[in-house]
Amino acid sequence: MFTKNKHSKRDKRDGNYKQKILIYTLVIALFWAKMYFIQGSIFTLGVENSNEAAILAFNPLSSIFLLFGLGVFLFGRKGLLATYIFGSVLLYVNVLFYREYNDFITIPMLGQVANLAGLGSSITNILSISDILLFVDVFVAVFLLFYVKPSRFTFFIPKRREGLILAVIAIPLFLVNLAWAETERTDLLERAFDRNMLVKYIGVMNYHVYDIVLQGQTEMKKTFADSNELVPAINYLNEKHTTPNKEMKGAAEGKNVIMISLESTQTFVVDNTLNGEEITPYFNELKEEGAYFNNFYHQVKQGRTSDSEFITENSLYGLNRGAAFFTHAGNEYEASPELLGENGYYTASMHANDKSFWNRDVMYDSLGYDKFYSKADYEVTEDKSYGWGYLDEYFFEDSLDKMEEMEQPFYTKMITLTNHHPFVLPEDKKYIEEGDFSSGTLNRYFQTMRYQDEALKQFVEDFKQSDLYDDTILVIYGDHEGISENHTQAMSEYLDKDINDYEQFQLQRVPLLILGEGIDGKEYDTVGGQIDLRPTLMNLLGIKDDNPVQFGQDLFSEDRREMMITRDGDFANEEYVGVKDQCYDRETGEPVEGEACAPLFEEAQEELALSDSIIYGDLLRYLDETEVVEEMESEKTEETNK
């Protein structure tokens, strides 16, 4: 009898153990299938061979074991279900972010949830009814978590040691994954700027773990930074320094400056047509009146419009992760508004959106603006709004009225809204037919671009009739691309050519036009980027800019280093375009064999790293201290010479 009971208990224990293994296997398999589908079908990761395909299939496993292991270790059965739900939501957030930006969410971006309130139709446009299929398993998990009595699962009571075992198994799985990935890409974890590559080789969940590690390192940099860290950047920039154009120096001295940041505006629409109609007829004519740069690139990353603001006003690169407007708004800067204010200018930014969007109300104080005209300062009504808010034509009209009342000289930055994803307009504002390509986003983009051009025409023509015209220069530029890599097929259809990496890189060009008395109408082939706007503007205004920590150079300078670097570490110069470690001839787009671009890729990485060190370490707070040391050393040298 005793033996029988003993065998019965052992059999029951063995049966429960087998059922546990079955449950664990089922949960892991379901989540693996979801991750594999999302990584392989929704994300465009550029799998090039069978080895990469196998790595992509293998890489979810270590993160799944870690995620579920920690859940069980900390909270038991509910922890397993809760982490399943958490993981599913995190995957879906990445799906939405990827559809919009062709990028993956980072820790700094999670701090920008305030922006979600302003996304409106952009979010609804990237949702898909089929997305519900990604949550069928989650609904089952929620049902099990909240509606099934624990007594029905008495055989499945996970123990803490089981969670620990799962988490420990994750370590060798990841090491195998990393070693395997290194057969395709050496020094993989050094390439934190290429999130697509990281996700392809280590998986989206492991990428997030790595991102947490990077964030921890970032937080430490400011804490332990000191003035010595600024010296390498100053030395590097002194070596790269070129003389601004002497003929253009002071060409706009004492004049007002109106900077117009055109939302999502790319150069490919300029001088181009749709169904025989010009997309930007007014701008096509206007650019003949001033200095137009046709090889000017945006350099933004996750910070989008705020990145373009940061770059143009500081001549520093934006961040690879998150946006400096959020993560480093409390830093010490030596920005254009502050410098202009010190030279007698009244400075203002104009943007008819909520003042807290992209944390502008905080960041603008750090940049030195006197005034921020936000949504509250405009007569925003329902009949004057659509899509993202205040229509450009009314924004331009109201802003011109405000500028006519400003103390002069002034520096104002205007940021438009209407030409924003998902690119929608009321029927009476559609001045051109939609496109007929495989992307609705691209099809609508032509219409909002045409509307923006008409609104710009109204503003510039009114401006020319105002008292401001003779004493003001206009600087008009695109802030970032509007059509991402997710619409490559449609762009290929419209442009009637294959869009490879080189062509996609060239699509990152945005227009730059500088208008004003003393600035001749001329088209420039100079390769440059948004980082060059500040030194160009200061030279035109004849303002001495003593800040030695600027990575841009005067666009008019004849001996300037024509080197434009993107946040991804790609570049363009007079001869080459370097994209994803591949070298192309800039004029023909043909691949270039050999090591011609290798030193240029290295230079790009060095420059980005130096800029990052300045921002992450808040090193500009030591700028005056560094100058004092230099002055003291100079005084000692003079005394020695005496």
Q: Determine whether 588 is an active site residue.
A: no
Q: What is the pLDDT of residue 121?
A: 55
Q: How confident is the model at residue 564 (pLDDT cuts 50, 70, 90)?
A: very high
Residue that the structure tokens 């290194």 belong to? 182
pLDDT > 70? residue 627: no
Residue range 203-223: average pLDDT? 87
Q: How confident is the model at residue 258 (pLDDT cuts 50, 70, 90)?
A: very high
The whole-angstrom separation of Cα 153 and Cα 149 is 8
Residue range 465-473: average pLDDT? 96
Question: Of residues 83, 218, 265, 305, which has the active-site annotation?
Answer: 305
Domains belonging to the chain, first-starting first, are: 2-221 (no CATH), 246-552 (3.40.720.10)
Task: Give percent of the chain with pLDDT exceeding 70.
Answer: 90
Residue range 254-269: average pLDDT? 98
The whole-angstrom separation of Cα 522 and Cα 218 is 44
Neighbours of 122 (CB within 10 A): 18
The whole-angstrom separation of Cα 251 and Cα 513 is 16
Q: What is the pLDDT of residue 112?
A: 58
pLDDT > 70? residue 348: yes
- Write out pLDDT tens, residues 99-119: 877 788 888 777 655 555 455
Nearby residues of 97 by Cβ (< 8 Å), 6 or more positions away: 103, 104, 105, 109
- Write out pLDDT tens, residues 168-181: 999 999 999 999 99
Q: How confident is the model at residue 475 (pLDDT cuts 50, 70, 90)?
A: very high
User: Could you tell me which of 273, 213, 207, 163 has the C-alpha nearest to residue 63?
Assistant: 207
* Most confident of the ranges 90-99, 183-192, 591-600: 591-600
Nearby residues of 458 by Cβ (< 8 Å), 6 or more positions away: 393, 396, 397
The number of angstroms, rounded, from the C-alpha of 24 to the middle of its chain's C-alpha atoms is: 39
Neighbours of 271 (CB within 10 A): 14
Task: Give percent of the chain with pLDDT exceeding 90.
Answer: 69
pLDDT > 60? residue 217: yes
Nearby residues of 573 by Cβ (< 8 Å), 6 or more positions away: 527, 561, 562, 563, 564, 586, 600
The percent of the chain in helix, strand and coil, each rounded to the nearest 5, is 55, 10, 30
* pLDDT: which is higher, 223 or 478: 478
Residue that the structure tokens 């438009």 belong to? 416
- Write out pLDDT tens, residues 292-343: 999 999 999 988 999 999 999 999 999 998 889 988 988 999 999 999 999 9
Q: What is the pLDDT of residue 147?
A: 61
The whole-angstrom separation of Cα 50 and Cα 195 is 21
pLDDT > 60? residue 350: yes
> Residue type at 144?
L
Q: What is the pLDDT of residue 455?
A: 98
Confirm if 589 and 603 have CB atoms less than 8 A apart: no
The whole-angstrom separation of Cα 469 and Cα 284 is 20
* pLDDT: which is higher, 131 or 441: 441
Residue range 535-560: average pLDDT? 96
Confirm if 372 and 346 have CB atoms less than 8 A apart: no
Q: What is the mean pLDDT of the chain?
A: 89
Residue that the structure tokens 């087998």 belong to? 18
Q: How confident is the model at residue 631 (pLDDT cuts 50, 70, 90)?
A: very low
Confirm if 384 and 320 have CB atoms less than 8 A apart: no
Neighbours of 239 (CB within 10 A): 7
* Four-point Cα dihedral 82, 87, 90, 91, nearest 10: -140
The whole-angstrom separation of Cα 407 and Cα 73 is 65
At residue 278, the 3 state secondary structure works out as: strand
Helices 2-37, 60-101: crossing angle, 10 deg rounding: 30
Per the structure block, which two tokens stand in for 460? 């510039």
pLDDT > 80? residue 270: yes
- Write out pLDDT tens, residues 125-154: 677 888 888 888 888 767 765 565 555 555
The whole-angstrom separation of Cα 509 and Cα 519 is 22
pLDDT > 90? residue 157: no
Least trusted range by pLDDT, from 129-133, 432-436, 452-456: 129-133
pLDDT > 80? residue 632: no
Q: What is the pTM of this model?
A: 0.80
| Rounded alpha-carbon distances, angstroms, from residue 633 to 173, 233, 240, 629, 640 | 56, 19, 23, 6, 11
* Most confident of the ranges 220-224, 356-360, 373-377: 373-377
